[in-house]
Amino acid sequence: MSVQHDPVQRADFDQVMVPNYAPAAFVPVRGQGSRVWDQSGRELIDFAGGIAVNVLGHCHPALVSALTEQANTMWHISNVFTNEPALRLAHKLVDATFADRVFFCNSGAEANEAAFKLARRVAFDKFGEDKCEIIAATNSFHGRTLFTVSVGGQPKYSDGFGPKIQGISHVPYNDLDALKAAISDKTCAVVLEPIQGEGGVLPADQAYLEGARKLCDEHNALLVFDEVQTGMGRSGELFAYMHYGVTPDILSSAKSLGGGFPIGAMLTTTELAKHLAVGTHGTTYGGNPLACAVGEAVIDVINTPAVLAGVKAKHQQFTSRLQAIGEKYGVFSEVRGLGLLLGCVLSDAWKGKAKAVLDAAAVEGVMVLQASPDVVRFAPSLVVEDADINEGLDRFERAVAKLVQG
Ligand SMILES: *Cc1c(COP(=O)(O)O)cnc(C)c1O
């Protein structure tokens, strides 16, 4: 029962799409596990994971089954009613984390938008309107809505769209003295990614997150962890805060949470959640049964000792091979990251050329990402098979060798 579609090609993108993206020259049409096929039938190994989203690869049987079962049951009902998949997923997130309460939405930006609004509302209710300042890190990324680009520390994403949200300041990441100098009793929240993802796969220092927690407590400010990229097993723990043993007040999740189905979530405590009373915030699709049914299947598979231990083992496989490639060809100065969120920092000679590396990799049949122009990023499926890791890294090495040979 397959529908006959009109033929389309990559060239159509330039005709009918807003030109805010620059997609690759080929069009992927099908995926299975960590392999993807394009329109011409060419097969690629996927270490990009749809930008840290396809946490269980493509068409994982548990997710396909959860989605199709829910598709035959109920798609959408709105928040005028609650629904079973949303309640089940919320229970699972609460049981597995510091949080007591969950707000569902559709993306990482929306999860952060909710987190920032909650932080401001808590401060407003408890301390008055002066306590509204948010401190975030330079080079951070929190999404593309106006509030989230204002909090994100990258002017290239926030400039040129009119007045930004006020009351936000930025400090250098991993610089506790800078945070100490910036925080005050007017600060309502400190917002950090436990590993800066888009900014270059830069993990926080242990002492930095511990110090940030202490400073927040001293100033009645909330600590917000943006775990949109680091969460849902990516770090080898369910959330990266567990790796550090530093607990936030509010946590945002998205990307891997849906394994490819759009969903976001903001997690917090009962005490804080009560400040978002009826009518203060919402979204039509938040807690959509399809999204939550898939999210539930994702957490069921991921939050198991076997999968999380597998992430740590696969981390070793990737890093030892990537370090060897880096040394052999002189392309990387460092391989960093946690679990299966890895960044290969380009050496001085290759600085700024991450895009060239990922284009060369795609030609050899392996999809990788960049994180800034100076870092090649890997965010594969957490259950990527050893054979795919080896074959994918062979292809990646061939791409690097060709680049180096010019
Ligand atoms: C991707 C990302 C976001 C934005 O998520 P969207 O789903 O694109 O809105 C926010 N924060 C971090 C850390 C991210 O990696």
What DSSP line would sit under 194-241, residue for residue?
A: SEETTTTSEEPPHHHHHHHHHHHHHTT-EEEEE-TTTTTTTTSSSSHH
CA of 48 to the centre of ligand 1 (A): 15
The answer to whether residues 126 and 245 belong to one domain is yes
The answer to whether residues 119 and 218 belong to one domain is yes
Residue 226 annotated in ligand binding:
yes
CA of 306 to the centre of ligand 1 (A): 27
Is the overall model pTM greater than 0.85, yes or no? yes
**Domain end (from 302, 333, 358):** 302
Domain that holds residue 181: 74-302
Residue 141 annotated in ligand binding:
yes
The answer to whether residues 243 and 96 belong to one domain is yes
Point out the ligand 1 atom lying closest to the alpha carbon of residue 112. 10
Closest among 216, 224, 212, 272 to 248, alpha carbons compared: 224
Which amino acid residue places its CA nearest to atom 6 of ligand 1?
Answer: 108
* pLDDT reading at 1 higher than 80: no
Q: Does some domain include residue 67?
A: no
Q: Does some domain include residue 66?
A: no
The answer to whether residues 114 and 144 belong to one domain is yes
Q: Is 228 in the pocket of ligand 1 (CB under 6 A)?
A: yes
Count how many domains the chain has.
Answer: 2
Across 229-247, average pLDDT = 98
What is the C-alpha to C-alpha distance for residues 260 and 323, in angstroms, rounded to an integer? 30
Across 212-219, average pLDDT = 98
The CATH number covering residue 138 comes to 3.40.640.10
List helix spans (H) across 267-332: 270-273, 289-302, 305-329
338 pLDDT band, cuts 50/70/90, is very high
173 pLDDT band, cuts 50/70/90, is very high
The answer to whether residues 173 and 46 belong to one domain is no
Model confidence pLDDT, tens digit, residues 17-76: 999 999 999 999 999 999 999 999 999 999 999 999 999 999 999 999 999 999 999 999
The answer to whether residues 41 and 80 belong to one domain is no
Q: What is the chain's Cα-based Rg?
A: 21
Q: Does some domain include residue 220?
A: yes
Across 255-275, average pLDDT = 98
* pLDDT reading at 8 higher than 90: yes
Q: Answer for the pair 374, 352: CB distance below 8 angstroms, yes or no.
A: yes
Q: What percent of the chain has pLDDT over 90?
A: 99
Ligand 1 pocket test, candidate residues 51, 104, 113, 142, most atoms within 8 A of CB = 142
